[in-house]
Structure 1
Amino acid sequence: MTKGSNDGQAPVALVTGASSGIGRIMAAALAADGHVVFGTSRAPAATETDDGVRMIAMDVDSDASVDRAVAEVLGQAGRLDMVVCNAGFGVMGPIEDTPAELMIAQFQTNVFGVHRVCRAVLPLLRQRPVAKLVVTGSMAGMVGLPMQGMYSASKFALEGYCETLRLELRDSPVRVALIEPGDFPTGFTASRRMIPDAEMSAANRAKLARVSAIVAEDESNGGDLALLGEAIVRIAHDPSPPLRNIVASPEQMELVEAVRPTLSPDEWEGFMAEHFGIEAA
């Protein structure tokens, strides 16, 4: 069990977006590790999951909802040792055909939602001898992905946000870390918000169909889901976790750590274009 509470009590963790996917896996892993875990969802189906995660309502797009949820955790547990900002979604489609309103919605949840939660929980985390603030980034925040430009942009934004926040909190008890997942079979593929066909040209519709099929295959053949739970528990136990924690299949880890550093920017662009079937004009 993490020693984040430093007082002999089970550490208390809050995981946003815990009703499915990566959030559900991480919340369950922390509960199995001995944490008291509160998970959030916009509309929880139950008050507690089979994994022992206490579910509460939170919409990260709303200041009032975030404040109510944090107050509920404080009322039930009296403290907060770890927060995992995981709530988010993905927009898929060509950048040139993405309505501004959809880009705003993407950033509203993925970026501003993280900021709302951070502002609400930091006063509580600062009260603990040691505390962790973890944000779910993505490998899409390290490399631009075709037809996922809005999602990549939101995750790139979180990279800068967390790097800065970590520096600002260096003299506090709070340790900031990113989890950067690669492809995993979590159901994220089916939940993406697609650009309406009516917004796209025929050429872009065809390109989106090709790329989305490749993305779906990559994700269905992605890493072992257990890696995600192991990663969040490892961060919970580490008194000074690294800022960036990539979690991916061995093949994707090799690609990022061994292959990409040997390629020039143009060579990397060519590699990505070939993988996604995008030919040069």
Structure 2
Amino acid sequence: MGRATPYLLILPSFLMAAFIILWPLYQIGTISVHDVNRFGMLRDFSGIANFQALFNDPDFIAALWRTLVWTAGVVIGTLVVSVPIALILNDDFHGRSLARVIVMLPWAVSLAMMAIVWRWALNGESGLLNSGLKGLSLINTNIEWLAQASTAFPMQILIGILVSIPFTVTIFLGGLSSVPDDLYDAASVEGASHWQQFRYITLPLLRPFINIAFVMNTINVFNSFPIIWVTTQGGPANSTDILVTYLYKVGFRFGKLGEASAVSIIMFALLLVFTIIYVRLAMREEKTT
């Protein structure tokens, strides 16, 4: 009984978590292999017909590749920007507490509200960005930032990076607080430069937290809906659609619930495969070090 006690204690929570995750997954999987009407009523079994319809749709393929670019751009950009910010906020300087509050403040604002503010700022006629660039004499005419894919999608990636910084910086600050100051003191005595201290002390000890931030941000950004939808709704001409906005359109605009469920299964599979591969690589790297 002694050895089984821990498993019995966690069994109720495990069963509840399994039910919350597996039951919706089962329902979505069932819908994805059936012909479904607009009201969600299952009709005939269709096998992989919904999946075939997706892969025959150029908009789905484009949204799939765009999702990969969106996720990679936002996650990598966030990590690159957040590390130096965390290093600065970890130093002891006058006003550090206020600086931390300013950096963390956007985290308290709804993501949809942030997207609305940025949509106003990027307005082609009266947006703050055009006004600021004109004031600096960098442009002569207004730019329709959200009216063309060549500018809309890069700006959406930039917004995604900005709104992801507070969460990522918080993780890195937690990691930096666990690094002993004695290591830096010893390195300074040995004549190590700031870059050498960062490369050989800070970065290796911060790597587990970078792994956590990478996985968490990837999952969050991959499934992020508000930024794309609020700013452009996937337009113009579906040129900024990612999988989650494509799913919304297919399911709720066109009433193709079977295909929408198939998109959900594909998204779940992609995230699951990515998480397993990355975690295994991270664990193998920790064992070798």
Q: If you compute each CA radius of gyration, which structure gives the higher value, 1 or 2?
A: 2
Higher relative contact order (CA 8 A, sep 6+): 2
Task: Tell me the TM-score normalised to structure 2 length.
Answer: 0.22
Task: Tell me the TM-score normalised to structure 1 length.
Answer: 0.23
Larger strand proportion, structure 1 or 2? 1
